Amino acid sequence: MTHFLQEVMENNIGKIEENVPLSKYTTYKVGGIAKCIIYPKNIDKLVLLIKFIQKYHLNYKVLGNGSNLLFSDKEYDGVLIKLSDFNQLEIIDHKIIVGAGYSLMRLAAIATRRSLTGLEFAAGIPGTVGGAIYMNAGAYKSDMGYITSSVKVLTPDLKIITLTNQELDFHYRTSFLQKNKDYICLEVVLKLKQGKKSEIEKVIKDRKNRRVLTQPLEYPSAGSVFRNPEGYDPAGKLIEDLGLKGLKKGGAQVSEKHANFVVNTGTASATDVKELIEFIQKSVKEHYDIELKVEQEFVNWE
């Protein structure tokens, strides 16, 4: 790692942070220490960074806002890449061209100011645009797949190509990028529609009020833990009907507000969170014979 970091510095790839607690970079506020986080300045520097990673045979992962990840408590012995400098934004009529590192909530606010409708669902999702594409983030019966025109990506052989909406294979909380993790989202083209600013603001305000009443926003979490199983009650209702609301494992707890949220009450370890999630899965399987699928991604548990 020392020689790798030396090359990164010599080539002015971008800011480097070493021995970083992942609790600072995930919305669960848990996780071990990351050996390094690197912020490449642009696409050329990202390509060079990947070449160095390959040269030294290091593990790596692109990290957005950490809003859908559960890192283990052990050290991440690899390179985490943050695309915070990929934050360009251009709006042409109803088309938005935006970098992968741009804040999704900020983008929803800007779209609202421009009276552009289609991004209202994203106003409460604390991720990056790239992360939202990767997970096909969504809410209120809409998601990124409905508004994404195309995505510029870096391929595993370090070519820059554009994938169309159809090629991105968006489905409920998944996409081509999630199934092909060696592709890196660089830039996104969204197509919205003209709307009325007052109506867009009302929808966002109403949904915000609903979230405050029904979701445990006062605690660290990563949003909904499980996908809603097709053809059955929502995951939250299945969990609540089993009497699991409020169940604790160490500092992790099934939210008393919404049973499809696991929250960090302040002292949770990543292991607490994972074991509680697995207990819920097991209980639902035993009682309903339903396999709940986890929305969140477990990282560094091997």
Question: Hey, where are the domains in the chain?
Answer: 2-81, 89-199, 216-299
One-letter identity of residue 250:
G
239-268 burial string, b = 16+ CB within 10 Å, else e? bbebebbebebebbbbbebbbbbbbbeeeb
pLDDT digits (tens, 9 = 90+) for 93-123: 999 999 999 999 999 999 999 999 999 999 9
Q: Does domain 89-199 have CATH number 3.30.465.10?
A: yes
Alpha carbons 214 and 256: distance in angstroms, whole number: 10
Average pLDDT for the chain: 96
pLDDT digits (tens, 9 = 90+) for 233-253: 999 999 999 999 999 999 999
Alpha carbons 80 and 64: distance in angstroms, whole number: 10
pLDDT at 139: 86
Residues with Cβ within 8 Å of residue 260, at least 6 apart in sequence: 224, 225, 226, 234, 235, 236, 239
CATH fold for the domain made of 2-81? 3.30.43
Which neighbouring-strand residues pair with 194? Answer: 116
pLDDT at 302: 87
Q: Which range (86-90, 151-155, 210-214) has the least confidence? A: 210-214
pLDDT at 43 over 90: yes
Q: Average pLDDT in the 224-238 region?
A: 95
pLDDT at 140: 86
CATH of domain 216-299: 3.90.78.10
Residues annotated as catalytic are 173, 224, 295
Q: Are 261 and 294 in contact (CB under 8 A)?
A: no
pLDDT digits (tens, 9 = 90+) for 139-195: 888 999 999 999 999 999 999 999 999 999 999 889 999 999 999 999 999 999 999
pLDDT at 268 over 90: yes
pLDDT at 36: 97
